[in-house]
A = this chain, B = another copy of it.
Amino acid sequence: MSDTHSIDCIGIVGVGLIGGSVARAARAAGMCRAIIGWDASEAACLRAVELGVIDRAAADLAALARDCDVIVLATPLGVMEDLMRQLVGAIRPDAILTDVGSAKRSVIEAARRVFGDLPVGFVPAHPIAGTERSGVEASFASLFQRRCVILTPLSTTAPWATAKTRALWEAMGAEVVEMDAAHHDEVLAATSHLPHVLAYALVDTLAQMNEHSEIFRYAAGGFRDFTRIASSDPIMWRDICLANGEAVLSVLERYQQELAAVAQAVQRGDGAAIEQLFRRAKNARDSHVIA
- Copies of the polypeptide in the assembly: 2
A213 at the interface (CB under 8 A from B): yes
Is A142 in the interface zone, CB < 8 Å from B?
A: no
Cβ of A222 under 8 Å from chain B: yes
A87 at the interface (CB under 8 A from B): no
Assess whether A124 is interfacial by the CB under 8 Å rule. Answer: no
Main secondary structure of the interface of A (DSSP, over half): helix
A277 CB–B CB distance under 8 Å: yes
Which residues of the partner chain B approach A80 to less than 8 Å between Cβ atoms? none
| B191 near A238: Cβ-Cβ < 8 Å | no
List the B side residues contacting A278 at CB < 8 Å: 200, 230, 234, 237-238
Near B by CB (< 8 A), chain A positions 176-212 give 186-188, 190-192, 194-207, 209, 211-212
**Footprint of B on A, CB under 8 Å?**
78, 128-132, 147-148, 150, 186-188, 190-192, 194-207, 209, 211-235, 237-239, 241-242, 245, 248-249, 251-256, 258-260, 262-263, 266-267, 269, 271, 274-275, 277-282, 284-286, 288-291
3 shortest A-B CB distances, which residue pairs?
Answer: A216-B288, A207-B284, A234-B278
